[in-house]
Chains A and B, each alone.
Chain A
Amino acid sequence: MGYVKQAAKPAAKGLDFRQVVHKSLDLICLHELDGTYIYLNPSIYRMTGWRPEDLIGKNPYQYFHPEDLERIRAESHVKVVAGDTQTMSEFRFRCADGQYIWLETLTQPLFREGEALPYQLYTTSRNISRRINLHNKLQTQQHVWEEASKMGRIGSWEVDVQTGKLHWSKMVFEIHGLDPTAGPVTNVDRAVSFFPGEARTIILEKIAACMERGIPYDVRLPFVNAQGDELYVRAIGKPRKQNGQIVKIYGVFQDVTSEFQLNRELETANRRLTIQRDQLMDFNHIIAHNLRAPIASLSVINQMIQDIETKEDLVQYQQMLSELAETMKITVDDLLDIVKIRHSEARELADVSFPLILEKVLRLLKPQITQQKAAIESDFSVLEQIHYSVPFLESIFLNLLSNALKYAHPDRKAIIKIRSYREQGKPCLLVSDNGIGIDLERNGHKVFKLYKTFHRHKRGKGFGLFLIKNQIEAMGGSIQVESVVNQGTTFKIVFTI
């Protein structure tokens, strides 16, 4: 209790330091130079569960967390004993129940008059466990968020509507392909310049609506970052209001390229499967109707031949048999043509010129064109060639043009227009005529089916459109038809989807 005696002297002037120390909420201690406790105020009990008398004469090093021992010795103890004025340290201290608490301790040397080195040490300590725990929790959360941000390639941003001050998280820089030390892009024009074409218009509208009217947005758009990488991003923005006024816009910015690509692959696979399923159903239908029918007739004829009466009957049945054989041969050959499409070398790609193919097909159709005095108008100025199968493109031109000639309107000169162009980057072909048209309401579902015809007095075989649809689909494209009876028909081909 030497300290108390020492401190008692100024108390003579009416200042009761003993009570001040005793009642302080901070832990106040006196130590020998080696740290041994000489005095502890009652706060030690509230903080640690130890009573002062439990610790007096003990060395605090027994209570420090093993991981903190060396740090306390080096950063604080040695310095203070050497006469440095004071040190501040944070460390863990073992309580009576065995649990550790975090203390923040100010350690100061006490000197006797005229001596250069201290004779005792004096400490005041606070329990900072709450603060440390909060700090640790925050750090963990920060870490989890950063990991999630990296894994999900998702960043956050915030903009102050008044000051225009912008904050971007690290991932937002990364998605933009920009260096974070250069700071976020504050210029709106520059910021939206990463969105190409139509996407830029959309994001500008969304941002304006959010800033001015508080309408939140959530859009997925194409994006080309500063490195030239073509991405898809998801941009979400929300307003933050204060007293009814929009003060901030905040949101997240996510790179969803891989998700988008997967989706697109899935869509393509799905489309391919749908086409294959439809083709299988077509085949099912063809076998059930067009192949089974002659076989059924065979079995009927066979039965009838057995109770034949005249020579004429026999000749008649023989004729029927050869007719059936011919029908079946044609059907099987047609089917084989279709099956071959999927596997044939005809699918080999080459740069094909539309004008050249048209020229060749027109030569083939010359007699019909001359006879009909038909006018063929072509425009390949936008898209003169495509990478496609030569025989398939010939087949497409030949079938569409010969149909247009065959179903020309009897009351007017046939005009057939052919035009190639690009739509959303995809090569397309339009073939339209001013012919008699197809009643699509009645026949829409049958236009591209095998052996279906749509004109009563001008029956075709019903093979051409079925053939080219299979060819176009085998190359990953699609064909559609639009028609008005007595006005004309337009076929649209998208070569590759």
Chain B
Amino acid sequence: MPIKNLHIVDDDRIYRKTTASLLRRADLAINITSFEDGIDAIEYIEANACSVESLPDVILLDINMSFMDGWEFVRQFSTIKSKLAKVPTIFMVSSSTLESDRSRVAKLHDVRGYLLKPVRLDDFRTAFKLVLAPPQ
């Protein structure tokens, strides 16, 4: 089963394009929306807080963005989460192999997992299975 609404939040244009086309080709997602900074993504969610149809099911969130980075996005997301008609599942996606980044992600309750760039199709498949299965 593909993900219905998927958001890619990343300031890397090429990553956004390649990821979207990769996921579409593999039928892993139906509607893919891209944002180039955390601020744009959080504003979209705030604006569509009540709409189950518009809210994403999955967010692929970059850590390192120039204006609002992934950390700040998660912080703001956590404060508005309770008002959302549907709570999206967030995956942090980063090229960082730093242990400090990994362990920081592990401490975030609202982040489901950490995907290291380049993300293979199999990695996406495994991650999305988590979304479809109810959390333990």
Contacts and interface: CB of A to CB of B under 8 A. Distances in A.
Interface of A: 284-285, 288-290, 292-297, 299-301, 303-304, 320, 323-324, 442, 446, 451-456, 459, 462
A323 B14 contact: yes
A441 to B, nearest CB: 11
A324 B14 contact: yes
Contacts of A324: 14
Given A295-B95, A297-B118, 5 more contacts: A284-B98, A288-B98, A296-B15, A320-B17, A453-B67
B50 to A, nearest CB: 25
Contact of B95 (A288, A323, A451, A456): A288
A285 B66 contact: no
A459 B67 contact: yes
A451 B69 CA distance: 11
Q: Is the interface of A mostly helix, strand, loop or mixed?
A: helix
Interface in B82-134: 94-98, 101, 117-119
Interface size grouping (class) on chain B = 20 to 34
A289 B94 contact: yes
Contacts of A292: 95-97, 117
A446 B71 CA distance: 12
Q: Most chain-A CB neighbours within 10 Å: which of B15, B21, B97?
A: B15
Given A288-B101, A304-B21, A451 B66 contact: yes
Contacts of A452: 66
B31 to A, nearest CB: 21
B58 interface: no
A290 B98 CA distance: 13
Given A293-B12, A297-B12, A462-B66, A288 B18 contact: no
B115 to A, nearest CB: 11
Interface in B31-57: 37, 39
A482 B101 CA distance: 28
The 5 A-B pairs with the shortest beta carbon distances in the complex, nearest first, are: A296-B117, A292-B95, A288-B96, A293-B95, A296-B118
B118 A299 contact: yes
Q: Most chain-B CB neighbours within 10 Å: which of A284, A290, A296?
A: A296
A455 B15 CA distance: 23
Given A284-B98, A293-B117, A324-B14, A300 B22 contact: yes
Contacts of A288: 94-98, 101
B18 A301 contact: yes
B29 interface: no
B72 interface: yes
Contacts of A296: 15, 95, 117-118
Contact of B14 (A290, A297, A451, A453): A297
Interface of B: 12-15, 17-19, 21-22, 37, 39, 63-64, 66-67, 69, 72, 94-98, 101, 117-119
Contacts of A454: 67
A467 B101 CA distance: 24
B37 to A, nearest CB: 8
A329 B78 CA distance: 37
A219 to B, nearest CB: 43
A323 B15 CA distance: 12
A464 to B, nearest CB: 13
A296 B63 CA distance: 15
B119 to A, nearest CB: 8
A453 B94 CA distance: 19
A59 B66 CA distance: 107
Nearest to A316: B17
Contacts of B98: 284-285, 288
Contacts of B12: 293-294, 297
Nearest to B97: A288
Contacts of A299: 118
Nearest to B75: A442
Contacts of A304: 18, 21-22
Given A284-B98, A320-B14, A453 B66 contact: yes
A60 B15 CA distance: 112
Contacts of A459: 66-67
A293 B21 CA distance: 18
Nearest to A453: B66
A301 B13 CA distance: 13
A394 B105 CA distance: 41
A162 B66 CA distance: 72
Contact of A456 (B14, B15, B17, B39): B39
A442 B12 CA distance: 23
B17 A289 contact: no
A449 to B, nearest CB: 10
B93 to A, nearest CB: 10
A442 B72 CA distance: 8
Nearest to A301: B18
B75 to A, nearest CB: 10
Contact of B15 (A284, A297, A303, A462): A297
A292 B15 CA distance: 12
A289 B64 contact: yes
Nearest to A299: B118
Nearest to B120: A303
A293 B63 CA distance: 11
A433 B113 CA distance: 43
A284 B98 CA distance: 8
24 contacts: A284-B98, A285-B96, A288-B96, A288-B98, A288-B101, A289-B94, A289-B96, A290-B64, A292-B117, A293-B15, A294-B14, A295-B95, A296-B95, A296-B117, A297-B118, A300-B22, A300-B119, A304-B21, A320-B14, A323-B13, A323-B14, A446-B69, A456-B67, A462-B66
